[in-house]
Structure 1
Amino acid sequence: MRWILPLLVVAPPAFAEGFSTQVTGDFNADGIADHVALIDFGDHGQADLLLKLGDGLQTIWLQNLIWVGGIGQQPSLTITPRGSLQMMSHNSSIGRNRWEQIHTLAWREGAMRVVGYTYRWYDTLNLDDIGSCDLNLLTGKGEISVGQDDTTRSISVTSPAFAVQDWLYEMPPECEVLFD
């Protein structure tokens, strides 16, 4: 029994092993494959974004960009049928407040831009604490809903699509007002 205790004391936290996911696609439509990766080096539960355009002339590295949960809650990268990139993070098992956040990135006006933002949440104990916010930063249109009985409402979106290098680490104001 005395051998077990020293091993438990030096065991690293669960997220210390690190995490990565990656996709390849032609995001800027130049005929050359581009590479995107989310990488968590295991030191603080946040993943970095690495975007490398196929021509090698542009590499974007953003640190501590997206939350990395435990096993089964790691972020994901998906290429949509229209060639956009979606980065999804979520909390689906820790505590009572569950959420999903999706950033949609697309090549527009000569840069990779954040063109969409979606946030959905629910409370496992308060069934009326549920909602969603879905924004299209290109068209200036969005939809929000709050509560079980609330219907989806259309809203105007003033937040512009911004270059991924200018990443906003907070929720767009159109969604943030739902939590005031």
Structure 2
Amino acid sequence: MRWIVPFLLAAPPAIAEGFTTQVTADFDANGIADHVALVEFGDHGQADLLLKMGGKLQTIWLHNLIWVGGIGQQPSLTVTPNGSLQMMSHNSSIGRNRWEQIHTLAWRDGAMRVVGYTYRWYDTLNLEDSGSCDLNLLTGKGEISEGQDGASRSISVSSPAFAVQDWLFEMPPECQALFD
């Protein structure tokens, strides 16, 4: 018994090392606050998304959803002026390939859905290897650009706005096509 107590005192809590960010807003416009958090449990470089819809008493928990960089590169949550949620992750200092990824979530058709996706990138040693892909999954419209000139062109988007619990852990095919 005397060996157990010192061991328990020496063991840190599982989330002590992790990263957390959170926002509260009324995403479904029912007058009851909803809560969203990104939480890194431990030190493995990925954060979970926790979404608690206040009026619906619905909790969604998606594991290892978003990359957590070091200090200054942690993901962020922002509520837009129109009440959508933007979840941004980025690599702005590791290696030569820099990127920023934004998922836009909004309450539509009775569920929190991923309604937009934006990805921007550039190579610090080859400035021609750069571009952006911005998709509106609700309207089916998007814009992509490649290279230093940055001329954008409109594209059709076939990827649908999907419920958060049906999250795809990969880049939409309209953006992935830029890397294939």
- Same fold, judged at TM 0.5 (above): yes
Given the two structures, how large is their TM-score scaled by the length of structure 1?
A: 0.90
Corresponding position of 2:9: none
Q: Secondary structure at the match of 2:175?
A: helix
Aligned-pair distance for 1:150? 4.2
The CA distance in 2 between the partners of 1:120 and 1:56, in whole Å, is 35
> What amino acid is aligned across from residue 155 of structure 1 in structure 2?
I
> What amino acid is aligned across from residue 96 of structure 1 in structure 2?
R
What is the percent sequence identity of the aligned residues? 86
The CA distance in 1 between the partners of 2:90 and 2:175, in whole Å, is 16
Given the two structures, how large is their TM-score scaled by the length of structure 2?
A: 0.90
Corresponding position of 1:45: 45
Alignment of structure 1 residues 67-78 onto 2, 5 Å: 67-78=67-78
Corresponding position of 1:109: 109
C-alpha distance after superposition, 1:90-132 (max 9, x if no partner): 0000000000000000000000000000000000000100100
> What amino acid is aligned across from residue 69 of structure 2 in structure 1?
G
Corresponding position of 2:21: 21
Aligned-pair distance for 1:55? 2.3
Corresponding position of 1:55: 55
Corresponding position of 1:127: 127
Q: Secondary structure at the match of 1:179?
A: coil
Aligned residues: CA RMSD: 1.0
Aligned-pair distance for 1:57? 1.7
Corresponding position of 1:148: 148
The CA distance in 2 between the partners of 1:178 and 1:42, in whole Å, is 34
Moved over 2 A (4+): none
Aligned-pair distance for 1:56? 5.4
Corresponding position of 1:6: none
Task: Give the gaps of 5 or more residues in structure 1.
Answer: 1-15
The CA distance in 2 between the partners of 1:152 and 1:21, in whole Å, is 33
The CA distance in 1 between the partners of 2:112 and 2:85, in whole Å, is 10
Q: Secondary structure at the match of 2:177?
A: helix
Corresponding position of 1:91: 91
Corresponding position of 1:179: 179
Q: Secondary structure at the match of 2:89?
A: strand
Task: Give the gaps of 5 or more residues in structure 2.
Answer: 1-15
Corresponding position of 2:158: 158
The CA distance in 2 between the partners of 1:166 and 1:54, in whole Å, is 20
